[in-house]
């Protein structure tokens, strides 16, 4: 697929870093309103610098346009690209107005063009493993999901000084004005909707908790920097989703069922650790102990938090390995590359080209991309609704739905039940007795029940 990028800002390096891992994608050129940016990016990646978007769209060798402009211009640029006969991959959200997102989805269908977009983290291996665990019954019936996207009180972290690998400043003003919910909620919403279906109904609350966070005036001045939403998915599962740039870093998602809990540690990593705890009386009781909660090793001994699963479920699209996502390019020192590699191992690592790679495969196979326009429209509607919520909680029914995504194959394993360890039954009895307070460890009837869930502790460990 021959692609060209419109918008050479902070995120462009994240996209182009993994190009060498994707021989199916060829970068033809780039453009930006700010010519100094497009020149720098074109030189760094050795491609053509188009003077304008019009010039880029007029080039017949460009098959797909990657829209990396601000959310405010997503609709305008994507629309122009579709009208010029190009496939489009858009950064999130599809548009800042639900009707404009609908317009793009309809236009792409009408023209027989592919329209897909971010986020594509759901195409990676960790989410494939989570979906398999849930579908295989590893946590029983899913009852509730807690999804966090707290990205630190970033206003205390001098974001005005942050730079991308090619030296572009992080657009803190635009990020504050658009708001962290619109920037981040979709990573969870899309991944969960891919698993549980469309959001049937939602209630949300959003507020600006730190109005004086910016060194320059903002327009609007008080876009929410904190939001909470409760989403009811089509199958009845409820997720509580939090987004903020006020609370300390937490990008976890916890899926809690009536037999266990799955935790994906970092939603911005294609191979995030995923753990599975099969509930037992022991682990449920043990987490009441402060020492267990504060000491992961102790917790581990009694099954709290379960074990990381070594998943070998095939991801819908093969992501590049974190090591290969270290900064590349001419003139980069060894230290810079090492720092990048460490960051990707320890912090975040998304292959931003996964969605585009899938579009190329979809074209070859004559099918829709896995992330369909209708899915993106629905996710955009949900995130727009959360971020535009105010301090009065309100209930919304998203108007558009989508048919299930054709994501996963039934191969590979994500978990295997394991036999309980020899100490499990004894520890189980002690903890049950402690929990029930009265009598000694042998007094509790449930401690003697055959097949108490405690026998399951350690399941999934390998």
Ligand X SMILES: NC(=O)c1ccc[n+]([C@@H]2O[C@H](COP(=O)([O-])OP(=O)(O)OC[C@H]3O[C@@H](n4cnc5c(N)ncnc54)[C@H](O)[C@@H]3O)[C@@H](O)[C@H]2O)c1
Binding site for ligand X (CB under 6 A): 6-11, 31-34, 37, 53, 68-71, 73, 77, 91-92, 168, 170-171, 174, 183
- Alpha-carbon distances of 117 from 99, 291, 307, rounded to whole Å: 17, 45, 33
Instruction: Report H helices in 84-170.
Output: 98-111, 125-135
Q: Of all helices (H) and strands (E), which one includes residue 359?
A: helix 354-365
Alpha carbon distance 208, 211 (integer Å): 6
Contact residues for 208 (Cβ-Cβ < 8 A; gap 6+): 222, 223, 224, 225, 226
**Residue 174 CB, nearest distance to ligand X (Å)?**
5
Q: Which is nearer to ligand X, 32 or 381 (CB)?
A: 32
Question: Which is it for the CA torsion 233, 235, 236, 237, positive or negative?
Answer: negative
Q: Which is nearer to ligand X, 116 or 427 (CB)?
A: 116
Alpha carbon distance 411, 413 (integer Å): 7
**Residue 29 CB, nearest distance to ligand X (Å)?**
13
Number of residue whose CB is nearest ligand X? 9
Q: Are 299 and 285 in contact (CB under 8 A)?
A: no
Q: Which is nearer to ligand X, 70 or 200 (CB)?
A: 70
Alpha carbon distance 322, 146 (integer Å): 26
**Residue 177 CB, nearest distance to ligand X (Å)?**
11
Q: Which is nearer to ligand X, 66 or 432 (CB)?
A: 66
Q: Which is nearer to ligand X, 71 or 299 (CB)?
A: 71
Q: Which is nearer to ligand X, 36 or 346 (CB)?
A: 36
Peptide bond just before 93 cis, omega within 30 deg: yes
**Residue 7 CB, nearest distance to ligand X (Å)?**
3
**Residue 371 CB, nearest distance to ligand X (Å)?**
15
Residue with tokens 């509930």: 279
Alpha carbon distance 272, 252 (integer Å): 10
Q: Which is nearer to ligand X, 76 or 234 (CB)?
A: 76
**Residue 219 CB, nearest distance to ligand X (Å)?**
15
**Residue 185 CB, nearest distance to ligand X (Å)?**
11
């Amino acid at each position: 697929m021959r692609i060209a990028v419109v918008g050479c800002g902070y995120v462009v390096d994240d996209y182009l870093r993994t190009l060498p891992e994707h021989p199916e994608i060829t970068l033809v050129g780039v453009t930006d309103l700010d010519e100094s940016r497009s020149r720098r990016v074109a030189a760094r990646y050795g491609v053509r610098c188009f003077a304008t978007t019009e010039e880029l769209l007029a080039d017949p060798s460009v098959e797909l346009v990657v829209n990396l402009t601000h959310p405010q211009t997503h609709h305008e640029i994507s629309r122009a690209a579709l009208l010029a006969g190009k496939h489009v991959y858009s950064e999130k959200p599809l548009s800042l107005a639900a009707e404009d997102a609908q317009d793009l989805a309809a236009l792409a269908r009408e023209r027989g063009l592919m329209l897909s977009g971010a986020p594509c983290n759901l195409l990676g291996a960790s989410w494939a493993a989570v979906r398999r665990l849930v579908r295989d019954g590893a946590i029983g019936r899913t009852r509730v999901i807690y999804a966090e996207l707290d990205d630190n009180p970033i206003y205390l972290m001098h974001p005005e000084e942050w730079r991308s690998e090619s030296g572009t400043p992080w657009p803190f003003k635009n990020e504050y004005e658009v708001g962290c919910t619109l920037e981040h909620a979709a990573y969870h919403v899309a991944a969960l909707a891919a698993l549980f279906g469309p959001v049937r109904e939602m209630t949300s609350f959003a507020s600006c908790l730190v109005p004086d966070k910016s060194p320059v005036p903002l327009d609007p001045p008080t876009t929410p920097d904190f939001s909470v939403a409760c989403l009811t998915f089509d199958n009845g599962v409820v997720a509580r989703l939090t987004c903020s740039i006020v609370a300390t870093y937490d990008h976890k998602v916890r899926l809690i069922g009536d037999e266990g809990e799955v935790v994906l540690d970092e939603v911005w990593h294609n191979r995030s650790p995923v753990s599975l705890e099969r509930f037992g009386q022991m682990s449920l009781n043990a987490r009441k102990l402060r020492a267990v909660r504060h000491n992961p090793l102790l917790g581990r001994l009694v099954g709290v938090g379960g074990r990381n699963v070594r998943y070998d479920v095939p991801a819908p699209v093969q992501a590049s390995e974190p090591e290969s996502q270290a900064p590349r390019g001419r003139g980069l020192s060894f230290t810079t590359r090492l720092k990048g590699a460490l960051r990707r191992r320890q912090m975040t690592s998304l292959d931003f080209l996964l969605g585009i790679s899938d579009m190329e495969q979809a074209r070859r196979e004559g099918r829709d991309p896995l992330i369909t326009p209708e899915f993106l429209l629905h996710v955009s509607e949900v995130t727009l609704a959360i971020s535009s919520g105010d301090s009065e909680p309100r209930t919304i029914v998203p108007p558009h739905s989508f048919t299930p995504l054709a994501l996963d194959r039934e191969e590979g394993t994500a978990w295997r039940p394991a036999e309980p360890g020899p100490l499990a039954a004894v520890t189980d009895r002690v903890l049950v007795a402690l929990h029930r307070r009265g009598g000694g460890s042998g007094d509790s009837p449930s401690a003697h029940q055959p097949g108490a869930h405690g026998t399951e502790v350690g399941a999934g460990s390998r």
